[in-house]
């Protein structure tokens, strides 16, 4: 059995320091402002683009890291700075993962570069999967794609929701139903190019947390895209659908799930960044805040709470790094290790930020201290990219082999 080493090499140490410096100097000082505005932080994205942090080259380099640790390290440091701004910087990467997971090499080469742009000419990508009646239940998806053979075009109709960068993006990656009777096995993903008629932004959501990140509905009204925009190509799709109709196992992943499986450890790393930031603030506060003539950290209740917070953070990081390493090595998640990492890290973020607020007392409940914002941001990590309940369902099915519902 191959055992991974989590002893970071110099490249990883340099990466962590580089991203942390950007998070400390650029992201964190701006976090409160953009949280209050609830607007997309274009100036921060521009700064990230100037240094090469928001770029195809950067994310591609980290994705090909044979240890798998480049992306988790990056995510943790960015989200240590701020979750809303961090998600604005990395949201495009989810759309890029959607193309990389399901597309041909030619499609990846054509569309992914168009999602990032360059300094002064920024571009965005959006991955559109969830629907008003199909969130956790991907099989309930209603957005339909119909093939117009005469024109070699696909016609897409439906409404997507909870889309990061939705409507604001230049490139949208949309999952749609081809054959409703096949449920998840009858779905496919499409690229919707910039300026395509019929695609529009619906409702923009005003959220409890991650407010700097743009989240909105995407309406698709007779959207026509060329046949070449079907990710993976029609020949592959036809073969997969034929197998599914014959009752055979498709041999391929559902289009949405293939994307989420690649990104869950990275999402777990984001949650760790939030938790670590709140823990560090609570630790420093406990050392300097005096009550009854002594620092509150000298009280066992406070010291033990901080100890438990740190243990949870460290355990979360190990789960995330293991899952990321397994993915980089092409190892299957036999026990749903990817879901384990996202589940534990997400719940750790909620618990740690809540405890940090408790340690700060009344100060923690005000916007004068950032732990209030961090607690709001943390909650989404038990909800998006698979709720905690869905993660438990995935894990339960993997260890039992039973169709648990």
Active site residues: 385
Under 8 Å CB-to-CB from 22, ≥6 apart: which residues?
A: 47, 48, 51, 53, 78, 81
Is 184 strand, coil or helix? Answer: helix
Spell out where 184-340 has E strands.
187-192, 199-204, 215-226, 290-291, 294-295
The DSSP output letter for 205 is P
Query: Using an 8 Å Cβ cutoff, are 360 and 368 in contact?
Result: no
Task: Output the six-digit token pair for 59.
Answer: 């994310």
Q: How far apart are CA 224 and CA 146, in angstroms?
A: 10
Spell out where 265-350 has E strands.
290-291, 294-295
Q: Count CB-CB contacts under 10 A for residue 269.
A: 28
Q: How far apart are CA 95 and CA 106, in angstroms?
A: 16
Is 134 strand, coil or helix? Answer: strand
With CA atoms as reference, report the closest residue to 173 among 234, 112, 251, 242: 112
The H or E element spanning position 176 is: strand 171-177
Under 8 Å CB-to-CB from 218, ≥6 apart: which residues?
A: 126, 128, 159, 160, 161, 163, 166, 167, 172, 174, 199, 200, 201, 202
The tally of CA atoms less than 13 A away on the side-chain side of residue 178 is 22
Q: How far apart are CA 331 and CA 14, in angstroms?
A: 27
Query: Using an 8 Å Cβ cutoff, are 124 and 165 in contact?
Result: yes
Spell out where 182-288 has E strands.
187-192, 199-204, 215-226
With CA atoms as reference, report the closest residue to 124 among 163, 92, 164, 88: 92
């Amino acid at each position: 059995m191959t055992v991974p080493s989590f002893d970071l090499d110099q490249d990883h140490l340099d990466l962590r320091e580089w991203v942390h410096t950007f998070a400390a100097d650029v992201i964190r000082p701006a976090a409160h402002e953009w949280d209050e505005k609830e607007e997309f932080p274009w100036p921060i994205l521009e700064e990230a683009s100037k240094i090469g942090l928001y770029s195809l080259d950067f994310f591609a380099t980290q994705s090909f890291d044979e240890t798998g640790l480049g992306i988790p390290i990056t995510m943790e440091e960015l989200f240590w700075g701020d979750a809303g701004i961090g998600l604005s910087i990395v949201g495009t990467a989810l759309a890029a993962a959607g193309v990389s997971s399901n597309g041909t090499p030619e499609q990846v080469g054509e569309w992914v570069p168009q999602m990032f742009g360059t300094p002064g000419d920024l571009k965005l990508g959006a991955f559109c999967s969830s629907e008003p009646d199909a969130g956790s239940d991907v099989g309930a998806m209603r957005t339909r794609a119909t093939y117009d053979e005469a024109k070699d075009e696909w016609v897409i109709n439906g409404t997507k929701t909870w889309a990061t960068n939705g409507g604001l993006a230049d490139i949208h990656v949309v999952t749609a139903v081809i054959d409703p009777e096949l449920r998840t096995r009858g779905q496919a993903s499409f690229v919707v190019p910039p300026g395509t008629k019929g695609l529009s932004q619906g409702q923009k959501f005003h959220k409890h947390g991650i407010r700097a990140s743009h989240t909105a509905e995407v309406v698709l009204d007779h959207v026509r895209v060329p046949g070449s925009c079907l990710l993976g190509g029609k020949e592959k799709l036809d073969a997969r659908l034929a197998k599914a109709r014959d009752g055979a196992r498709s041999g391929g992943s559902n289009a949405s799930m293939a994307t989420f499986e690649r990104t869950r450890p990275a999402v777990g790393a984001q949650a760790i960044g939030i938790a670590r930031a709140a823990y560090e603030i609570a630790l420093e506060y406990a050392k300097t805040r005096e009550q009854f003539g002594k620092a509150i950290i000298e009280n066992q209740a406070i010291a033990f709470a901080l100890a438990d917070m740190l243990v949870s953070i460290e355990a979360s990081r190990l789960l995330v790094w293991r899952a990321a390493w397994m993915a980089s090595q092409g190892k299957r998640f036999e026990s749903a290790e990817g879901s384990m990492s996202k589940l534990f890290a997400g719940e750790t973020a909620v618990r740690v930020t809540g405890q940090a607020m408790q340690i700060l007392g009344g100060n923690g409940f005000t916007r004068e201290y950032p732990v209030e914002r961090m607690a709001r941001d943390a909650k989404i990590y038990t909800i998006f990219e698979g709720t905690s309940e869905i993660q438990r369902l995935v894990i339960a099915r993997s260890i039992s082999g039973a169709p648990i519902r």
